[in-house]
Structure 1
Amino acid sequence: GTKSIIRGGNNMPYQLPELPYAYDALEPHYDEATVRLHHDIHHKGYVDGLNNAEAKLAEAREKGDFGLVKHWERELAFHGSGHLLHTLFWTNMTPDGGGTPAGALGERISQDFGSFEAFKKQFSAAAVAVEGSGWAVLVWNPEFKKLEILQAEKHQNLTQWGAVPLLTVDVWEHAYYLKYQNKRAAWVETWWNLVNWADASQRFEKAAK
């Protein structure tokens, strides 16, 4: 029921996923202290917020009272998108990352952006230029049949409906401030050393079928 969702426990529909590596595995590019805070506190906050929004909307349906529906729909979008993007963010990185993508994704990046270097420059520029807090996201748009680079302000603004996220970098300050302070560009540049192209490629092949 609603109360069990709010309290958490075994009935909670959304759970914080475990990291696919140790907290210190991304050193020296991504420091252990930030990874712990980012995953255990910030990401968990979005999971909790998503569960709470779902519970409040269920409660509204039960009572037939939608006076706060605008607020809880916003919370659903914000926390739900935060949970989804963070889950992608963790799997998009690996201790043995970096380099360039091979196979179908590499070919498609060259086709849609002209070259890998052109793609990398646009992606980095988009990440650094995000206004306030947000993300840069490589997506596959199945309607347009092409790869796009999108900015996401907060977690949910500026998307394209139907776009499938493949690769993302978090440029909220909580993602990098302990090590990189206000040097967002330095964080984005070092993040390329962690990119898990195998994960992004797998997502692309599934999305582009």
Structure 2
Amino acid sequence: MPLNRRQLLTLLGVGAGTLATAELWPAPAAAVDVIPVSQPFTLPPLPYAYNALEPYIDERTMRFHHDKHHQAYVDNLNAAIAQHPELSGKGVEDLLRHLNDLPASVRTTVRNNGGGHLNHTLFWESMGPRVGGEPTGAIAVALVKNFGSFAAFQQQFNEAGAKRFGSGWVWLVRTPEGKLAVISTPNQDSPIMEGLFPILGNDVWEHAYYLSYQNRRGDYLKAWWNLVNWPVINQRLEGAI
């Protein structure tokens, strides 16, 4: 059963007071309820058309990335959970947060595929057509407070993404101390595994950009800012707080 906005915030560890505030937020036009609570996990539909992110991300890349790569993570995660009925009903965030408590036989599979499922779900929601540019609202204030300026944050984020060796992700996260930080993670590791709350993430696996940018990861990182859906990011920041 897919989560509504209240359940999604609960899954990510938001308190009741924040949930009450969340009811006052206007829902973004492209928002969808996507992270399932119980098995089988399902592939969330894109909240926009496959070609909606052009010219920055092409339709063919989106079809392969969403329909093939993300679907494979969902299928592999379901297959792993099916081996252990005691894990049925646990959300993907809960599985990743308590990864070391999982049976050793499926721990790596859940790490890779549960992470891939959660990371991509957040990724699709973080983008949209006719958005991008400089942030507004609470996230704009928070970036200035933590990094000095949006430009300084953007440069640090792009550099972290460019320096991630091989495949992985670059993230803006909120720490348990309430600070914002830029990190990168290998493969499909989620910041949740480190006790961090993901606010914004960009996929730097080659399959996310290679058809249009080939080996020019830096060009992809710069172009990607034209797609960031700041209203959604503001909601995620409020949820983290």
Q: TM-score range by the shorter chain?
A: 0.7 to 0.9
Matched, 1:81 2:115: yes
Do the aligned partners of residues 159 and 132 (structure 1) sit closer, same or farther apart at CA in structure 2, a change above 3 Å counting? farther
Matched, 1:146 2:173: no
Structure 2 Cα separation of the partners of residues 57 and 181 of structure 1:
40
| 1:94 equivalent in structure 2 | 128
Alpha-carbon displacement from aligned partner over 1:61-107 (angstroms, at most 9, x marks no partner): xxxxxxxx434101111110110010011111111121111121111
| 1:205 equivalent in structure 2 | 238
Gaps in structure 1 of 5+ consecutive residues? 1-10, 61-68
Structure 2 Cα separation of the partners of residues 73 and 158 of structure 1:
17
Matched, 1:56 2:83: yes
CA-atom RMSD, angstroms? 2.1
| 2:54 equivalent in structure 1 | 27
Is the 1:152–1:159 contact (alpha carbons within 8 Å) kept by the matching residues of 2? no
Is the 2:119–2:190 contact (alpha carbons within 8 Å) kept by the matching residues of 1? no
Structure 2 Cα separation of the partners of residues 72 and 31 of structure 1:
35
Matched, 1:155 2:188: yes
Structure 1 Cα separation of the partners of residues 233 and 191 of structure 2:
21
Matched, 1:183 2:228: no
Is the 2:140–2:150 contact (alpha carbons within 8 Å) kept by the matching residues of 1? yes
The sequence identity of aligned pairs, in percent, is 47
Structure 1 Cα separation of the partners of residues 105 and 218 of structure 2:
34
Is the 2:174–2:198 contact (alpha carbons within 8 Å) kept by the matching residues of 1? yes
Structure 2 Cα separation of the partners of residues 157 and 198 of structure 1:
22
Matched, 1:167 2:200: yes
Figure out how many residues of one structure are paired with residues of the other and give that number. Answer: 191
Structure 2 Cα separation of the partners of residues 158 and 140 of structure 1:
10
- TM-score, normalised with respect to structure 1: 0.85
Match of 2:66 among 25, 35, 39: 39
Gaps in structure 2 of 5+ consecutive residues? 1-37, 88-102
The offset of 1:57, in angstroms, is 3.1
Do the aligned partners of residues 158 and 17 (structure 1) sit closer, same or farther apart at CA in structure 2, a change above 3 Å counting? closer
Is the 1:150–1:159 contact (alpha carbons within 8 Å) kept by the matching residues of 2? no
